[in-house]
Amino acid sequence: MAAFGSFALLIGLALAAYNLFAGGIALRLLAVGGEARVSPERLAETARRAGIAGFAAVTAAAFALSWSVFHNDFSIEYIVEHSNIALPAPYKFAALWSGQEGSLLLWAWLLAAYGFVLRLTHKSDVKLHAYAGTILAGVQVFFLLLLNFAAPPFSLVRGGIAPADGNGLNPLLQYPEMVIHPPMLYLGYVGFTVPFAFALGALMMRYPGEKWIHITRRWTMFTWMFLTIGIFLGMHWAYAVLGWGGYWGWDPVENASLMPWLTGTAFLHSVMMQEKRGMMKSWNVWLIFATFMLSILGTLLTRAGLVSSVHAFAQSSIGNWFVGFLVLVAAVCIFTYVLQRDHLKSEHRVESLVSRESSFLFNNLVLLAACFTILWGTLFPVLSEYVEGTKTTLSGAYYSHIAVPIGVFLLLLTGVGPLLAWRASSFRSLRRNFILPGIGFLATAIVLIAVGLKPWADEGVFYSLMTFSLAVAVATAVASEFLRGAAVVHRQTGKDYFSSTVLLIRRSTRRYGGYLVHFGVVIIFIGFAGYAFNRSAEKPMATGDKMEIGPYTLVNMGNTQESNPNYDTEFSLLDVYQNGKKVLDQPMAPEKRVYAVNGQPQTMVANHSTMRWDLYVVYEGRDSTTGLPIIKAFLNPLVMWIWVGLVVVVFGTLVALVPSLSPARAIVAVPVPKSDSMTGQAAAVGLTGGGD
């Protein structure tokens, strides 16, 4: 199977290279109108078909590695390093991306899959798809070169003698979310290659209009959604597995995933300005270029050993390849932009500081400031080592001082932006739109201070108070947008308010889906704000011992050890009481596992999660002097809100992905009264329907 996989990768490389070169020649011939023995159209078609066949080749390679993992083929080095016989089946899937070579293969396969879909849907715009497909093939060539020559997943074990068993999967990865977190994240990372390819292709061919944005809009949202899910699954995994009580540690790998997310989010917002008003064309092109390059930079940072990270399981010496590729991509982008920049002149300019356009501009600014801050913080240890000779550490303390204020400002813009009108807002409309959110903000701040929050005592509490107050303001703004729109539809159609709201959303899925995403972001920020109030307690606990934390009392019912072929485990059984009443039917069982194959320990946190707070209990191990298990308990307020917020964000994105009712259908659906105002009403409905 190793030989089959290796040949599949070689064939994949040959097909991608053919796609790149034949596609490139065909597009050049089409551009300059030169004569050739083969017609450029036919050459471009062969290139497209080579791309489709390339997907089959890379799929065959991925299948070969999966087959080898499941059949314990320890003649392959990668399988020895990342799997073993006792590894449960779902984690054998995870072994595919737990190491350098496997995760590169996953990347290449997803890229080939995206390319497959892109090439199949070429009829919507044959020429633009040909450009995008060729650029995509260039990226595929890079990854397939890596897989064939720098990090081959099918290398045989040294000496040629297969061991009886493998070294097993990193215990940190033996957790259900780890089976889906990397594919989700990679769907996001890799997916940004598609809008990047379309943007670069459209620029190369001086494509008129905003069609490339219309074509890639759903790709980008789809990709953004998966990146969001991937990041949050990673957070949940860190929360449940690492056992330090938090979900985000500002580790370079976490930062690497957040940076393209931030620029991708900025892109999703600013393309609306290009679609609506023909503005920000250069800006949008550079945002998507930056998003793609940040995906590559993130991979470079974490794999080249440039920055130290707890995610050290995938480091190697392939960094130079990524540096070379990044330089090449940057050079191509800059060259193309300089050559074609006159094509990207804006048709309009921002007319007022108080307008929807301005809010998008500031939203972009804040997102990019956040991205820069994270990039700066991630690279600063490298810089300080270069300048001063010592690596300066930048932990959460640094980021909470810098990134938290930026985040709070972003939350403010989330609420303010949708309340502003396109072009310019009148003072009257500002007063009307902001009065309710303003009251919500002030009332929340006053109530929270009255119930005992002291924003002057602690920076974290201050930001939490701001976040809670802004969250109420933004939620009020979002709700009032829905209510106002629903009231108009209710007046026009006579339907009840619920049906009116549904019709309103269907008429403009993108706009109201976007509001739902904003609402989800508000919920997530409320969850983040709870972090300032985390509490913890720790003590060695013998059977019958008690520990108090917040309103809960933990009673140790016993300490137990168990074994299975994969790991040995020891855990405590803790009954939880609140006001003398038992809260849980089953005791909490935090455990510590030690994996048989490599002797590595692993924490399994026990968590009782409610909307108010999480009771998060960690079995830290045994006290070296008394031999008693040390139990650490955290009371983390509002964490559940983060996961609920994610669900709302995903739901909102799915709503935005659904096509809106066409203006014609939307207008037909409305019984327009026969009067002089008919034209005006029809225009109003049309505008509401399409007005994102």
Among 124, 395, 543, 610, binds another protein (CB under 8 A): 395
Among 41, 351, 496, 562, binds another protein (CB under 8 A): 351
d(CA 66, CA 248): 31
Is residue 433 part of the contact set for another protein (CB under 8 A)?
yes
In terms of C-beta density within 10 A (0-12 exposed, 13-18 middle, 19 or more buried), how is residue 386 classed? Answer: exposed
Among 282, 608, 684, 692, binds another protein (CB under 8 A): 684
C-beta atoms surrounding 300 within 10 Å: 20
Closest to another protein by CB, 63 or 398? 398
DSSP string covering 407-420, please?
HHHHHHHHHHGGGS
Count of helix runs (H) and strand runs (E) in the chain: 21, 10
Binding mask 105-124 for another protein (x = CB under 8 A): --------------------
Is residue 220 part of the contact set for another protein (CB under 8 A)?
no
Closest to another protein by CB, 55 or 283? 283
Give the footprint of another protein on residues 71-90 (CB under 8 A).
none
CB of 350 to another protein, least distance (A): 5
Is residue 407 part of the contact set for another protein (CB under 8 A)?
no
φ/ψ of 156, rounded to 5, equals -85, 155
Measured CA to CA in angstroms, residue 424 lies from 142, 366, 413, 606 at distances of 47, 21, 16, 53
Closest to another protein by CB, 426 or 662? 426
d(CA 134, CA 19): 6
Binding segment for another protein (CB under 8 A), chosen from 13-21, 34-42, 196-204, 372-380, is 372-380
**What length does the chain have?**
692
C-beta atoms surrounding 376 within 10 Å: 12
The gap between the terminal CA atoms of the chain, to the nearest Å, is: 52
Residue closest to 237 by CA, chosen among 305, 171, 294? 171
d(CA 391, CA 401): 20
CB of 569 to another protein, least distance (A): 14
Among 38, 126, 331, 365, binds another protein (CB under 8 A): 365
Q: Please give, one letter per residue, the 3-state secondary structure of 275-298.
A: HHHCCCHHHHHHHHHHHHHHHHHH
CB of 513 to another protein, least distance (A): 17
Is residue 678 part of the contact set for another protein (CB under 8 A)?
no
Which residue type is seen at 323?
V
Residue closest to 643 by CA, chosen among 77, 237, 202? 237
Closest to another protein by CB, 173 or 375? 375
Binding segment for another protein (CB under 8 A), chosen from 283-291, 419-427, 552-560, 646-654, is 419-427
Is residue 537 part of the contact set for another protein (CB under 8 A)?
no
Give yes or no for a contact between 557 and 543, defined as CB atoms under 8 angstroms apart. Answer: yes
Dihedral in degrees, nearest 10, Cα atoms 313, 316, 320, 324:
-40
Q: What is the largest CA-CA distance in the chain?
A: 90
Is residue 396 part of the contact set for another protein (CB under 8 A)?
yes
d(CA 301, CA 195): 23
Residue closest to 617 by CA, chosen among 603, 606, 628, 604? 606
Is residue 672 part of the contact set for another protein (CB under 8 A)?
no
Closest to another protein by CB, 86 or 379? 379
β-sheet bridge partners, residue 560: 571
Is residue 139 part of the contact set for another protein (CB under 8 A)?
no
Among 362, 497, 577, 651, binds another protein (CB under 8 A): 362
CB of 491 to another protein, least distance (A): 8
Give yes or no for a contact between 433 and 419, defined as CB atoms under 8 angstroms apart. Answer: yes
In terms of C-beta density within 10 A (0-12 exposed, 13-18 middle, 19 or more buried), how is residue 681 classed? Answer: middle
C-beta atoms surrounding 66 within 10 Å: 18
Is residue 158 part of the contact set for another protein (CB under 8 A)?
no
| Long-range interactions of 557-563: CB distance < 8 A, separation 24+ | 557/587, 559/629
Closest to another protein by CB, 269 or 632? 632
d(CA 430, CA 451): 31
Is residue 231 part of the contact set for another protein (CB under 8 A)?
no
Is residue 49 part of the contact set for another protein (CB under 8 A)?
no
Closest to another protein by CB, 332 or 368? 368
Is residue 493 part of the contact set for another protein (CB under 8 A)?
no
CB of 484 to another protein, least distance (A): 5
φ/ψ of 634, rounded to 5, equals -120, 145
CB of 51 to another protein, least distance (A): 40
φ/ψ of 671, rounded to 5, equals -75, 100
CB of 391 to another protein, least distance (A): 6
Closest to another protein by CB, 366 or 642? 366
Is residue 451 part of the contact set for another protein (CB under 8 A)?
no
Closest to another protein by CB, 223 or 572? 572
Is residue 28 part of the contact set for another protein (CB under 8 A)?
no
Binding segment for another protein (CB under 8 A), chosen from 36-44, 123-131, 284-292, 391-399, is 391-399
d(CA 188, CA 225): 7
Binding segment for another protein (CB under 8 A), chosen from 171-179, 239-247, 542-550, 645-653, is 239-247
Is residue 420 part of the contact set for another protein (CB under 8 A)?
yes
Give the footprint of another protein on residues 305-344 (CB under 8 A).
308-310
Give the footprint of another protein on residues 247-276 (CB under 8 A).
249, 251
Is residue 578 part of the contact set for another protein (CB under 8 A)?
no
Triad 682, 685, 690: Cα angle to 5°: 125
Among 37, 349, 581, 674, binds another protein (CB under 8 A): 349
Closest to another protein by CB, 70 or 405? 405
Is residue 426 part of the contact set for another protein (CB under 8 A)?
yes
Give the footprint of another protein on residues 589-648 (CB under 8 A).
592, 601, 603, 618, 620-622, 624, 630, 632
Binding mask 462-491 for another protein (x = CB under 8 A): ----------------------xx-xx---
Give yes or no for a contact between 98 and 170, defined as CB atoms under 8 angstroms apart. Answer: yes
Closest to another protein by CB, 1 or 424? 424
C-beta atoms surrounding 552 within 10 Å: 20
Locus of tokens 């119930």: 451
Binding segment for another protein (CB under 8 A), chosen from 153-161, 216-224, 316-324, 401-409, is 401-409
Among 320, 392, 578, 609, binds another protein (CB under 8 A): 392
Q: Which two tokens stand for residue 290?
A: 């930056």
CB of 247 to another protein, least distance (A): 13
CB of 601 to another protein, least distance (A): 7
Is residue 282 part of the contact set for another protein (CB under 8 A)?
no
Q: Which two tokens stand for residue 21?
A: 């070169």
d(CA 597, CA 87): 10
Is residue 369 part of the contact set for another protein (CB under 8 A)?
yes
d(CA 137, CA 294): 19
Size of the site for another protein (CB under 8 A): 73
Can you tell me whether residue 554 is helix, strand or coil? strand
Among 121, 124, 320, 393, binds another protein (CB under 8 A): 393
